[in-house]
Structure 1
Amino acid sequence: MAKEVKLFGWYGSPVSRRVEFALKLKGVEYEYIEEDLSNKSDLLLKYNPVHKKIPVLVHNGKPIAESLVIIEYIDETWKHNPILPQHPYERALARFWAKFYDDKCQPALWKSIWSKGEEREEAIKEAYEHLNTLENELKDKKFFGGQDIGLVDIAANFIGFWLGLFQEVSGLELLTEEKFPKLYKWSQDYVTHSVIKEKLPSRDRMIAYISARFEASSK
């Protein structure tokens, strides 16, 4: 029931969308509560007093924070349409690659986008290395989870959708078909997947938001 499951998130947040993708893949009804990140609600601060950030899932009055933790909770609570593999070793590998993305790949991508000068050059070099690692891990699979979307696909959703928008606005080229053909094809398959496509934010709205951020940062 929607009343039993609430999600505190923000429209343009990749980590918030991770949870929405997981809930949608599972077919779980939920109530979505949009947060103003510049003026966070008392409820959000109550439910996530440690990090004070989105996303937060509240199930039967009990809050869970951190997107990857939330996704595992969702997967364990609603058993159908599994997001993580069933075999312990495969589950461990999925956790490893999701953590690799969060700890290594995402920070390098973010720094590539927003830093300048030598720092940016170093960040781009590092980002290429991590993207190449993901390219090699993808092998000949459609998704990191095989034929179906799994934990690593959801974790890497910034690459699937948001990175292309940042590249378009900034002129930076990190993920291209020439450099990373497998990962590029994965990104195309990812954003056209019926469940993911339905829950992606408006492209035009995100382009406007990103453009405004770049304009503000250049002043």
Structure 2
Amino acid sequence: MTPLIAEFIGTALLVLLGNGVVANVLLNKTKGQNSGLIVIAFGWAMAVFIGVFSVAAISGAHLNPAVTIALAVAGKFAWNDVTGYIIAQMLGGMAGALVMWLMYRKHFESTEDSDLKLAVFCTGPAIRSLPGNLVSEIVATFVLVFAILSMVSPKMSLGAMDALPVALLVLGIGVSLGGTTGYAMSPARDLGPRIMHALLPISGKRNSDWGYAWVPVVGSITGAVLAALAHGIH
């Protein structure tokens, strides 16, 4: 398996399981309907654990364009490889969202609320205030990436890091900082599935909220770069 295929598969697993737990909580007639934010946060943490554990030895398990860019800024990843990794991650996010939709298709059909259907695919603000929402994404991603960089020795790649600390990190961010925007922290996790929401023939869907779509993209990349710079100073 090549690193690019590994990034595709790892990101697809992450989004399949992460968006899958959101579908299980939000959609009608599921076994986990209305089980709440804690279940979502735990599910996303396990999604990260499985994605990272599965491909870390092959690609380093970035699984996130913001992480890839931050590692390049920090001098821990070659800039020449950044574009390929990001493309693989975005395609993986789209593939994971597609499989999730296929699994939960009947539950999408049983759910009337179009906002909930969108929320299964991508994040949205609890209170819509784009400057504040942007700050939320910057802060959450800063915490994610600064902690990741702190876990990685200068002589190690991201793949040498155990998956469990990263999962616990995502769980902590989810329960502490996830209440404002849903803590996207990754274009592959948010923009990739949002594109699939727009393309798929989802029963009773609404628009894909493109007016907000830039927030998790710009916020996550900005937060990641700031974390890389801060870690360099540190």
Q: Which structure's relative contact order is higher, taking Cα pairs within 8 Å and 6+ residues apart?
A: 2
Q: Which has the higher strand share?
A: 1
Shared fold (TM-score greater than 0.5)?
no
- The TM-score, its normalising length taken from structure 2, stands at 0.31
Higher alpha-carbon Rg:
1
Q: Which has the higher helix share?
A: 2
